[in-house]
Each structure stands twice: as C-alpha cells, then as structure tokens.
Amino acid sequence: MYSVDLSIRAQKFLDKLDKHISERIEIRLKKLEENPVPSDAKFIGRDKGDKVFRCRIGDYRALYKLKDTEKIVLVAKIDKRPRIYNRS
C-alpha cells in the first residue's frame, strides 16, 4: 500500500479551488493508495529515477511521481489541462 503526499504547490492549488471540486480531486488521489498506476494513468517519463504519471480528473490533471522504494505517490502539480505541462 502506498501513501499519497501532496507537494506544497499542489496543496496550495487545492486550497484555492471550490470545496466540491477539491473534494472530488482528493477522492481520486486517495484511490492512488490502492492502485498507484490505474488504467487511465499515462506514463509521462522519468525524473531522477522516479516514474512520472498523469492522472485525469475531469478538466484537471495531476502530475505525480511514483517512488517505488519508499512506497510514496508524490503529487507534484495539479492544474487545468492547458497549464499543467508548463515547466514553471
């Protein structure tokens, strides 16, 4: 079983959203504890040895790193689709 951690950036984004939207995203991210790579997750690439995936949640996307050795799913960024892939 994995644990899901949010980066500071991802947490700030969730805090700014309407409550019903943020709850929907949190429920979806919580499911990553049981299955860190669901069938709808897309492999994006690698970052320092960790696999990076994208998860679609309605109009929003979550980019997360899978740290297999520590059993952690680190959600690095959450945003709407047009902005999620910007490197800033």
Ordered by where they begin, the domains of the chain are 3-83 (3.30.2310.20)
Contact of 15 with 55, CB cutoff 8 Å = no
The amino acid that residue 19 corresponds to is K
The amino acid that residue 78 corresponds to is I
The amino acid that residue 10 corresponds to is A
**How far is the C-alpha of 16 from the C-alpha of 71, rounded, in Å?**
28
pTM above 0.85, yes or no: yes
The amino acid that residue 61 corresponds to is R
Dump pLDDT digits (tens) for 35-69: 999 999 999 999 998 999 999 999 999 999 999 99
